[in-house]
Chain A
Amino acid sequence: LAKTTQPISMDSYEGQEVNITCSHNNIATNDYITWYQQFPSQGPRFIIQGYKTKVTNEVASLFIPADRKSSTLSLPRVSLSDTAVYYCLVGAITGFQKLVFGTGTRLLVSP
């Protein structure tokens, strides 16, 4: 399973756009990129998943360059409630599909 590298922490202010980049140099051809969000004392929550180019949903956008060795989670106009830990995972979505978490990025949004 491909290893991922993310910044340990990021700070932002309400209303700003936040971009969290994840490096996954050893991503395999059949690997997808998935992001989860976790609040204290709760389980992780799925945010977005993609394979290449750009994916957008009601919560976030995911940008994946052509070489797929990195990806960027973009959170538009963050609010205080977006303060959480964000995990980038890579892996196949067929078969066993074990989710391998790193230490994630702690995002702190301030007023």
Chain B
Amino acid sequence: DTGVSQDPRHKITKRGQNVTFRCDPISEHNRLYWYRQTLGQGPEFLTYFQNEAQLEKSRLLSDRFSAERPKGSFSTLEIQRTEQGDSAMYLCATRRSNTEAFFGQGTRLTVV
């Protein structure tokens, strides 16, 4: 257990539905990242928060994706109108400045 908590661990949803994932970071970690990982590939960067500010978004993050970190603590990642191509493991990572990143165990999304 790294101290980064993600919920749920698994989510099965029908195509077209909205889903929301939550990440609870280690308490003193001000930087929070979301990644997506498909089978056989390394994690791909989606977005980054420093405290409550979303400072960078990948081009992978289409307009169906939105992420928030309202009080600089937990973060949510929402996918609207899910598609089968959204099926993947969604990983959250957090860190303090100039230290290593700690990853959660991820949320595995299956869109049927």
* A contact residues vs B (CB 8 Å cutoff): 34, 41-46, 49, 85, 87, 93-94, 96-104
Q: Are B98 and A99 in contact, CB atoms less than 8 angstroms apart?
A: no
How many A-B pairs fall under 8 Å by CB?
Answer: 60
Determine whether the beta carbon of A99 is less than 8 Å from that of B33.
yes
Q: Which 8 A-B pairs have the closest CB atoms?
A: A43-B103, A101-B42, A46-B100, A101-B43, A43-B91, A93-B98, A44-B103, A103-B42
Q: Does B18 contact A (CB under 8 A)?
A: no
Question: A94 CA to B108 CA in the complex, in Å?
Answer: 30
A99 to B93, CA, bound (A): 10
* Residues of B bordering A, CB below 8 Å: 2, 4, 31, 33, 35, 40-45, 48, 55-56, 89, 91-93, 95, 97-106, 108
Question: Which of B4, B33, B42, B103 is the most central at the interface, judged by chain A CB atoms within 10 Å of its CB?
Answer: B42
